Amino acid sequence: MAASANPPSARAWWKSAVVYQIYPISFFDSNGDGFGDLNGILAKLDYLKSLGVDVLWLSPIYRSPLADMGYDIADYREIDSRYGTLADWDRLIAGVHERGMKLMMDLVVNHTSDEHEWFVQSRSDKDTSRNPKRNWYIWRPPKYDAHGNRQPPNNWKSVFQGSAWDYDEQTQECYLHLYVSKQPDLNWDNSAVRNAVFDLMEWWINRGCDGFRMDVINIISKVDGLPDAPVADPKEQYQPASAFFANGPRVHQYIKEMNDRVLSRHDLITVGETPFTQNAQDLLPYVLPSRRELNMVFQFELMGIDSHIDPYGSDVPLIPKEWKLKNLKEVITRWQTFEREAGFWNAVFIENHDHSRSVSRFGNDSPEWRSLSAKLLSMLEITQSGTLYIYQGQEIGMKNAPPTWGLEEYKDVATINYWNSVLEKRKRESPGLDVDMSDVMDGIRRKARDHARTPMQWKDLPHAGFTSGTPWMRVNDDYQEWNVAAQLESRTSVWSFWKHALEIRKTYDVLIYGDFTLLSPEHEQVFAYTRVLGESIALVLLNFHHTPVQFSLDEVPHLIGAPFILGNYSPTDDREAATSIISLREYEGRVYIVKT
């Protein structure tokens, strides 16, 4: 292995940190209006500290019409009144810092809300000599077809369905929005836009913020000329175009500039969200320390293993497919070993607000196996190298909403738009006939983003103790049994397991910094690997199946006798050292660690 100036074993606080993602609207409502809020988060800081959390990441809390649940920001320097005030934020950050924790904000700067003052000004006049904000967004004249019908400037499809362009009557041009119409894309080629973004970052840092999660940061630079995308589906008017906006021509120039101007001047944690990327090499420049861009990125290969893939290689989450342990092993192994000697550092996550619950996807959420498999997934997470991210509710094994819920319970614009677009297409293709949408509903029941957005289950009280009012979104039906209060009292709960598992991770550096080697790649039900750091070796065995299995240590005979450190069955029994053949029960995971 080549020597490196930045080996992954080089220590940093943000590498060993446990980050907990809060989806504020669904976390805890302190004032009974049905929306979670900042004072609700403040009230739960001791809870988070006792779990072992070091850093909080708040999904957006800025003023927003919530066209995309706050990922459409109308004012970067105001808190949305549903969540509280800037004074509440100041109290929150003080509470976070008093407890020795840190806080990251969500930086959503590929686009704003159409209600942001910048866009209101931008759309007010197309004459750039009078309107200095016109070029802050991406405006183009419409096209006209042979019949004189107005068409968008190109054929790009928005990520959330339909054309990526909207026509503005007043100035008779179209603006680009890669997400919904109410999320116009900023023009990063304009230095005034970049300056404004860097200013607002400084503004939050001066207020006390400790870092940023950067929303779709790899799509800020679009291919010059905005050419049409190739036609992937001739029956569709608009075509997937991520090849023209993901990891675009000047993205690294802009992130480097951000680093020079802002990030390098502070001791921050930074993670870029980088979807639409099939080639791992394309993510290297964002994170190689020598490049001075970001600490790490969220790559989505694992999140895609149970999704249909479109002709461009991007996953379509609402068209599910069965995942295979073989793929999960391949993807995790690739990222655990990817360019480590060059200093690549991972962000380890299996849940966030854009994906269904991990115990329902990768575990087994039936009553018999839910708790064990949620703990198994916890072991998968805490034994990987990288900064660890936990999503709210994951620590108590929250699962998907019940399959009996109808479409009316789903709130997410991505889901609703997807449903409507498939419905329209099928009606167009079979006019006058009944349309069967059961496959689409099945996809939604398994994979919709809303599964992660149901309110946090705190107690066996109405609405799970999340609110004393009417919750903005229905609480999962299982809250009487599956809630924080019940799990805090039980030594065998998923919560107690996570707390212990995080202590183990922090005790054994090998779990955070060690080198990863996959064992028995072909094994059909056990994911086995070692982690090595100096004289420490960890052996991790995870049985991903509801049948028992035996695993032989033939490949690693030197680990026979390694002491047992962590397991998801009884906290006290079965602690014997590793034997040459290890019997694993249903969904059993075991970690052994030895110092040679």
Report the 10 Å Cβ neighbour count for 267: 12
End-to-end CA distance of the chain: 21
Q: How far apart are CA 329 and CA 102, in angstroms?
A: 32
Question: Which of positions 404-433 make contact with ligand NOJ (CB under 6 A)?
Answer: none
If the CB atoms of residues 76 and 179 are measured against ligand NOJ, the closer one turns out to be: 179
Q: With helix as H, strand as E and coil as C, how does 420-446 read? A: HHHHHHHHHHCCCCCCCCHHHHHHHHH
Check residue 216 for interaction with ligand NOJ (CB under 6 A). Answer: yes
CB atoms within 10 A of CB 63: 20
Shortest spacing between CB 542 and ligand NOJ, in angstroms: 28
Give the nearest distance from C-beta 539 to ligand NOJ in angstroms: 35
Smallest distance, ligand NOJ to C-beta of residue 339, A: 25
CB of 359 to ligand NOJ, least distance (A): 21
Contact criterion met (CB below 8 Å) for 112 and 179: no
Closest residue to ligand NOJ, judged by C-beta, is 71
Asked whether position 257 contacts ligand NOJ by CB under 6 A, the answer is no
Minimum Å distance from CB 59 to ligand NOJ? 8
- 215 is an active site residue: yes
β partners of residue 309: 315
Which of 541, 387, 529 has its CA nearest to residue 8?
387
Q: How far is the CB of 273 from ligand NOJ (least distance, A)?
A: 6
Question: Among this protein's residues, is 273 annotated catalytic?
Answer: yes
Question: What are the b/e assignments for 344-363, b being 16+ CB within 10 Å?
Answer: bbbbbbbbbbbbbbbbbbbb
Closer by beta carbon to ligand NOJ, 213 or else 505: 213
The β-bridge partners of 22 are: 58
Considering the rule CB under 6 A, would residue 108 count as an interface residue with ligand NOJ?
A: yes
Nearer residue to ligand NOJ within complex by CB, 185 or 381: 185
487-546: contacts with ligand NOJ (CB under 6 A): none
The closest alpha carbon to 255, from 276, 273, 277, 275, belongs to: 273
**Nearest approach, Cβ of 215 to ligand NOJ (angstroms)?**
5
| Choice between 184 and 567, CB closer to ligand NOJ | 184
Phi then psi for residue 347, to 5 deg, are -105, 120
Strand 269-273 versus strand 296-298 pairing type? parallel
* Binding of ligand NOJ by 354 (CB under 6 A): yes
Rounded Cα–Cα distance for residues 562 and 208 (Å): 45
The reply on whether position 136 binds ligand NOJ by CB under 6 A is no
Q: Are the C-beta atoms of residues 287 and 293 closer than 8 Å to each other?
A: yes
Nearest residue (CB) to ligand NOJ, 389 versus 592: 389
Q: Does residue 215 interact with ligand NOJ by CB under 6 A?
A: yes
Our CB check for ligand NOJ shows the closer of 246 and 565 to be 246
Give CA–CA dist 174/177, Å, rounded: 10
Judged by CB under 6 A, the chain residues 262 through 301 that form the site for ligand NOJ are: 273
Q: Minimum distance from CB of 412 to ligand NOJ (Å)? A: 8
Toward ligand NOJ, which CB reaches closer, 72 or 293? 72
Short-list 524, 526, 525, CA closest to 539? 526
Specify the residue, 108 or 332, whose C-beta has the smaller distance to ligand NOJ: 108
- CA distances 30 to 26, 57, 400, Å, are 11, 19, 25
Q: Which residues contact 158 (CB under 8 A, 6 or more apart)?
A: 164, 177, 178, 179, 180, 238
* Rounded CA separation 14/19 (Å): 9
| By CB under 6 A, residue 179 contacts ligand NOJ | yes
Residue 114 near ligand NOJ by CB under 6 A: no
Q: Does 220 bind ligand NOJ (CB under 6 A)?
A: no
Q: Please, which residue, 353 or 361, has the CB nearer to ligand NOJ?
A: 353
Closest approach of Cβ 517 to ligand NOJ, in Å?
Answer: 33
Residue 472 or 497: which CB sits closer to ligand NOJ? 472
Site track for ligand NOJ across 560-579, x = CB under 6 A: --------------------
Taking the complex as a whole, the smallest distance from the CB of residue 20 to ligand NOJ amounts, in Å, to: 16
Nearer to ligand NOJ by Cβ, of 179 and 513: the residue is 179
Phi/psi of residue 528, nearest 5 degrees: -125, 140
| Beta carbon of residue 587, minimum distance to ligand NOJ (angstroms, whole number) | 30
Phi/psi-derived region of residue 431, left when phi > 0, alpha when psi is between -120 and 50, beta in every other case: beta
Kindly give, in sequence order, each residue whose CB lies less than 8 Å from that of residue 69, ignoring residues fewer than 6 positions away: 25, 59, 60, 353, 412, 413, 453
Strand, coil or helix: 77: strand
Binding of residue 303 to ligand NOJ (CB under 6 A): no
DSSP secondary-structure letter at 216? Answer: T
Strand 211-214: give its sheet, edge to edge.
296-298, 269-273, 211-214, 102-107, 55-58, 18-22, 387-391, 347-348
Number of residues this chain uses to bind ligand NOJ (CB under 6 A): 9
Which residues from 41-100 bind ligand NOJ, rule CB under 6 A?
Answer: 68, 71
Catalytic annotation, pick one of 273, 293, 354, 381 = 273
- Asked if residues 285 and 217 have their Cβ atoms less than 8 Å apart, the reply is no
Please state, in angstroms and rounded to a whole number, the distance separating the CA atoms of residues 102 and 98.
10
Q: Which of 215, 306, 381, 395 is catalytic?
A: 215
Residues in Cβ contact with 62 at an 8 Å cutoff, skipping those fewer than 6 apart: 70, 73, 74, 75, 76, 77, 78, 79, 80
Binding site for ligand NOJ (CB under 6 A): 68, 71, 108, 179, 215-216, 273, 353-354
Active site residues: 215, 273
